[in-house]
Amino acid sequence: MEATDEQIAQRIQQGESELFGELVERYQSKLMRYARKFLADSDDSKDIVQDIFIKTYQNIQSFDTSRKFSPWIYRIAHNEFVNALKKRAAQRTIFTFDIDTILPHLAATDTADSAALERDLRTSLEEHLDKLDAKYREPLILYYLESMDYKEISDILQIPVSTVGVRLARGRSMLQKAAANTII
């Protein structure tokens, strides 16, 4: 049986630092995808993800192994991405992204219609994500592309679960409007 992220983190805390490579392996592609979406395909995504792993390693002792590891590392990533956006904004004017208004949550995913709708929404998300404010873009990325639930997103963004739902609903709406404007 494969060790969980939490078990690996606990072993790293106990001195088995060589196991950190396992966490890097498990999260590198996920965090790169998250970075590309959050930072709108920024060229410095690789460097920022590397910084996330450095901060994760430096702070692994503060991780509570009774909790889930993924929201913890995604919170570190969130902070790094926000800092990167702030640096960019200081260097040049940047518009912000608000992802919460893009995609509606699909209640049933077992029907052909809902599967087609979800596929269309994902395509729309891919095409129009960069037009949204980060406030709405980030929950959409975490929910639709990283398959996280509202509680995990709430932990990462440090906002109430109800706010996650509101931002997702608004983000979906904004995304649908952006898609409709493209079609017209």
**Domain spans, the chain:** 5-91, 112-183
pTM: 0.66
The pLDDT value given to residue 43: 76
Share of the chain above pLDDT 90, in %: 43
The pLDDT value given to residue 173: 85
Task: Read off the pLDDT of residues 33-90 as tens digits, 9 standing for 90 and up.
Answer: 999 888 876 678 899 999 999 999 999 999 999 999 999 999 999 999 888 888 876 6
Task: Read off the pLDDT of residues 142-164 as tens digits, 9 standing for 90 and up.
Answer: 888 888 899 999 999 999 999 99
CATH, range 112-183: 1.10.10.10
- What average pLDDT does range 99-119 have in this prediction? 53
SS (H, E, C) the chain: CCCCHHHHHHHHHCCCHHHHHHHHHHHHHHHHHHHHHHCCCCCCHHHHHHHHHHHHHHHHHHCCCCCCHHHHHHHHHHHHHHHHHHHHHHHCCCCCCECCECCCCCCCCCCHHHHHHHHHHHHHHHHHHHHCEHHHHHHHHHHHHCCCCHHHHHHHHCCCHHHHHHHHHHHHHHHHHHHHHHHC
The pLDDT value given to residue 176: 79
- What CATH fold (topology level) applies to the domain 5-91? Rna Polymerase Sigma Factor; Chain: A (1.10.1740)
pLDDT value at 105 more than 60: no
